[in-house]
Chains A and B, each alone.
Chain A
């Protein structure tokens, strides 16, 4: 079980003056600006859960994850993993957790992947049988066996991410922290990563904490969601609630004739939102209430669109909506 209790992390950032005189001034007097990356965050994650930890860029997700796995020490409050603070008892907590940072590899850059695995086997003191069994399982779900003998630096991003995920699972951690594990991956590669996470969770009851910018990751994997914005939690609960709130919102972006007059064409009443900027029209609608087909037909027949793109709702939109709703309820 993971508990976060009034967790706060402040960073001190020196304020630098501008130009040469400013630089000289900062040599003698240093002023600091305190940035609260995470403010009074509390939540609990139970064993075997897959939790999506979401928020826009710079909201404090990574900072929280880094405190949970013991890299950063909180300014105030604490993290408890099975009752132990990870940044105080690193060696005690380390065997229980696996971590993947999507933007940085943890594998040794210059040595073949399999050698990295062997090093991890020794560091975590994994027995031969366990190692073989797990390697076999990971080969199957992540199909990494094809590039095992290549140095990590020669792997593609998708391969590297799968390799990183495999490396974090070798010692069969009870808790898996995934910080943007699907960043920059194509749809197929994302699919593979998700499948592996699901299988791992089903087979070993691994608790998973996942940050991502892809709503599909969340829908596919997570039963509950914690949402953070500017360092504070704005939502903590089951995914279903969010889905109810937002329905299945999609955005259609169209290219149209700039002369088109939108006033004549609004016919979906309320269930749809249309915005126009020169030759660009954005239609936002709930795909559970209005059929996508109808909207597309309307776009081509009535609006005479020349090009079109369908977007799923983004995390930023969800965050914005939740924030504005909270404003209203105040």
Chain B
């Protein structure tokens, strides 16, 4: 059954390889943004009451810088879901019918192509960038050198967390995409989605910097599993128990959101009006 989705797994990968020059330019832009954030953090810590060595919300300036760089790489590699746009254009152009008459599920097609994109990005950019950053930060003493088995386990848990993040990101994109059945403003929906994610996933700053009550709530939402939690697992800010907890939370949310998406699809699909043609 799963073999039917292979072409979609491949297609996105091939697209990304074909547009690798674009990706490299995009990467440079992203790294530039990360550099700006790093300078911002340095000046924040400099002007803190305890000086540059202060610990703010459990983070030293070294840890915050490492966190910023890693989340930047992480989001670059992980958030490649084009699901919302594809659904939007399927609805506008009426091409959704082409998929509804094929023996594959509409949802499954998107999961396959998101995973394909993720694997390609991870091999092409993720592995080299993560390795280089880890080694460089290790050499300058920003990351404590772990024992080898701690490293292996955390990398393993991180990869699980990252896969869950890809799937979570895709299902959120899919749900927002399905909303295009009800309102035809795909652009607005995408803005809403992007803002929610960058704010609530800890991409801008670690969630620990939010006010106490808000922090607790946001940590329970699915967004924390999108980038903060996997990165903190990799950076060993979470011990094993905490790592398993956040992975469990992400998995739970994934199941809930997939079920919700299924119900929403069932309702939305009745609204199709592929006129003419």
Contacts and interface: CB of A to CB of B under 8 A. Distances in A.
Report if A and B associate in a common complex: yes
Interface of A: 11, 62, 66, 69-73, 90-91, 94-95, 97, 99, 101, 103-104, 106, 118-119, 122-125, 179
A101 B104 CA distance: 19
A94 B270 contact: no
B116 to A, nearest CB: 13
A71 B276 contact: no
A71 B102 contact: no
A90 B100 contact: yes
B100 A70 contact: yes
Interface in B258-277: 269-270, 272-277
A71 B101 contact: yes
A73 B269 contact: yes
B211 interface: no
A101 B277 contact: yes
B103 A72 contact: no
Nearest to A66: B274
A103 B6 contact: no
Nearest to A180: B277
Contact of A103 (B96, B273, B277): B277
Nearest to A121: B7
A122 B104 CA distance: 11
A90 B96 CA distance: 13
Contact of B97 (A66, A97, A118): A66
B101 A94 contact: yes
Interface string B168-209: 000000000000000000000000000000000000000000
Q: Is the interface of B mostly helix, strand, loop or mixed?
A: loop
A125 B102 contact: no
Contacts of A122: 3-4, 6-7
B98 interface: yes
B95 A104 contact: yes
B97 A71 contact: yes
Contact of B105 (A91, A95, A124): A91
Which 4 pairs between the two chains have the least Cβ-Cβ distance?
A94-B103, A103-B277, A119-B7, A71-B97
Main secondary structure of the interface of A (DSSP, over half): mixed
Given A91-B103, A94-B101, A97-B101, A125 B277 contact: no
A222 B11 CA distance: 40
9 contacts: A66-B274, A70-B100, A71-B100, A71-B272, A90-B103, A94-B102, A122-B3, A123-B103, A123-B104
Contacts of A71: 96-97, 100-101, 272, 274
Contact of A125 (B4, B95, B273): B4
Contacts of B4: 122-125
Nearest to A12: B273
A248 B100 CA distance: 41
A179 B277 contact: yes
A90 B100 CA distance: 7
Contact of B104 (A73, A91, A97): A91
Interface of B: 3-4, 6-7, 11, 94-98, 100-105, 269-270, 272-277
A103 B102 CA distance: 19
Contacts of A90: 100-101, 103
B105 A99 contact: no
Q: Which of A11, A90, A103 has most B Cβ within 10 Å?
A: A90
B264 to A, nearest CB: 15
A328 B105 CA distance: 51
A119 B3 CA distance: 11
Contact of A72 (B95, B98, B102, B272): B272
A72 B275 CA distance: 10
A95 to B, nearest CB: 5
B272 A123 contact: no
Given A94-B101, A125-B4, 12 more contacts: A11-B275, A62-B276, A71-B96, A71-B274, A72-B272, A73-B269, A91-B105, A94-B104, A101-B97, A124-B102, A125-B3, A179-B277
Contacts of A119: 7, 11
B271 to A, nearest CB: 9
A79 to B, nearest CB: 13
Contact of B101 (A11, A62, A99, A118): A99
A73 B100 CA distance: 12
Contact of B103 (A66, A73, A99, A124): A124
A95 B103 contact: yes
Contacts of B102: 94, 123-124
Nearest to A88: B266
A106 B98 contact: yes
Contacts of B273: 11, 72
Contacts of B11: 119
A246 B97 CA distance: 37
Nearest to A108: B11
A72 B273 CA distance: 7
A192 to B, nearest CB: 22
Nearest to B14: A111
A119 B276 CA distance: 27
A125 to B, nearest CB: 6
A70 B103 contact: no
Nearest to B95: A104
Contacts of B7: 118-119, 122-123
A73 B101 contact: no
Contacts of B95: 104
B46 to A, nearest CB: 50
Contacts of A179: 277
